[in-house]
């Protein structure tokens, strides 16, 4: 793809957050596919949850035996061996994905709090892929709603974050929400790189505004995409309710929605509640772009 610029640095490093769940393998495959499209490298991060290891060391800690109503005492040594084995399996799978996609890769194992380790590693990344794509995420407190860890990562990371929305490979078309903000300008670059050169693959949603403002948005997007040879399709939203946005994405046949936090500004309730509502409504992947994520890489 022809290199073009929107005032932001291109994605060079993709961090994929891994855990002990089966969905982690799908996340690796998604990250490798993205890296091939964006000409980036993939860094696999496996975090050994320190809270889980501490729990296993407590004398009263027990776990249920799979397929049984019986429980057994947790063994810290067994848990450490299990985590190491899972990390090695993820490393081998990443190596296979990277070989097929012909991309550079590396793998890290860190021990600590899952959220803090992930946010710290994300400081050196341009895009983060979360390993879970279901409605729940496994933590030391069992299976809890995705608004726990996932939403915190989405709102606290200073780079783009891909939240998997369905258990399959990332496909076209790409849907972009554009409102003129720095994040949405960065989203234009990501959308173009993911959409390729097929005009029908890039749909742009515009927020409610005066006709003159919407015309300016359209012209700006066309100008940004011109070097990539893309002609987008535009849709003007009547409002920014989560249901309205989700219906527009579904009508476009979108498998991924690229947006920044500005889409949440007019929704009722708190930012976290707005994001949870959007995640609950859309049935596709969500690529959440931060306001400073596009420029951060230039400082490294």
Distance CA 246, CA 81 (A): 43
Range among 4-8, 206-210, 224-228 with highest mean pLDDT value:
206-210
% of the chain with per-residue pLDDT over 90: 29
**Residues pairing with 63 in the sheet:** 72
Q: Are 221 and 244 in contact (CB under 8 A)?
A: no
Cis before 173? omega within 30: yes
Residues 6+ apart with CB under 8 A from 25: 90, 93
pLDDT computed for residue 273 by the predictor: 74
The answer to whether 220 and 212 have CB atoms below 8 angstroms apart is no
Number of other CB atoms surrounding residue 102 within 10 Å: 9
- Whether residue 184 has pLDDT greater than 70: yes
Alpha carbon distances (Å) from 238 to 209, 210, 262: 9, 11, 16
Domains of the chain: 13-59+73-163 (3.40.50.620), 174-299 (3.40.50.620)
pTM beyond 0.85, yes or no: no
Separation between Cα atoms, residue 44 and residue 27, nearest integer Å = 10
Choose between 272 and 49: higher pLDDT. Answer: 49
């Amino acid at each position: 793809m022809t290199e073009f610029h929107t005032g932001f640095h291109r994605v060079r490093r993709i961090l994929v957050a891994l855990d002990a769940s089966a969905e982690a393998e799908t996340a690796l495959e998604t990250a490798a596919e993205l890296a091939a499209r964006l000409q980036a490298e993939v860094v696999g991060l496996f975090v050994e949850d320190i809270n889980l290891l501490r729990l296993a060391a407590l004398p009263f800690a027990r776990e249920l035996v799979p397929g049984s109503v019986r429980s057994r005492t947790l063994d810290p040594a067994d848990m450490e061996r299990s985590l190491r084995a899972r990390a090695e399996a993820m490393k081998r799978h990443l190596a296979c994905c990277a070989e097929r996609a012909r991309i550079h890769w590396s793998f890290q194992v860190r021990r600590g709090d899952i959220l803090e380790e992930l946010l710290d590693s994300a400081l050196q990344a341009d895009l983060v892929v979360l390993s879970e794509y279901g409605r729940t995420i496994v933590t030391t407190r069992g299976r809890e709603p995705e608004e726990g860890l996932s939403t915190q990562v989405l709102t606290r990371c200073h780079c783009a974050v891909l939240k998997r929305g369905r258990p399959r490979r990332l496909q076209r078309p790409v849907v972009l929400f554009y409102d003129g903000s720095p994040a949405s300008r960065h989203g234009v670059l990501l959308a173009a790189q993911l959409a390729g050169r097929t005009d029908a693959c890039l749909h742009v949603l515009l927020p409610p505004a005066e006709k003159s403002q919407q015309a300016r948005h359209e012209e700006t997007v066309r100008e940004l995409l011109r070097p990539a040879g893309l002609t987008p399709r535009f849709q003007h939203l009547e409002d920014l309710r989560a249901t309205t946005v989700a219906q527009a994405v579904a009508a476009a046949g979108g498998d991924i929605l690229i947006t920044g936090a500005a889409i949440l500004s007019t929704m009722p309730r708190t930012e976290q509640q707005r994001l949870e509502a959007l995640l609950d409504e859309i049935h596709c992947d969500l690529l959440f772009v931060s306001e400073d994520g596009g420029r951060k890489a230039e400082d490294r």
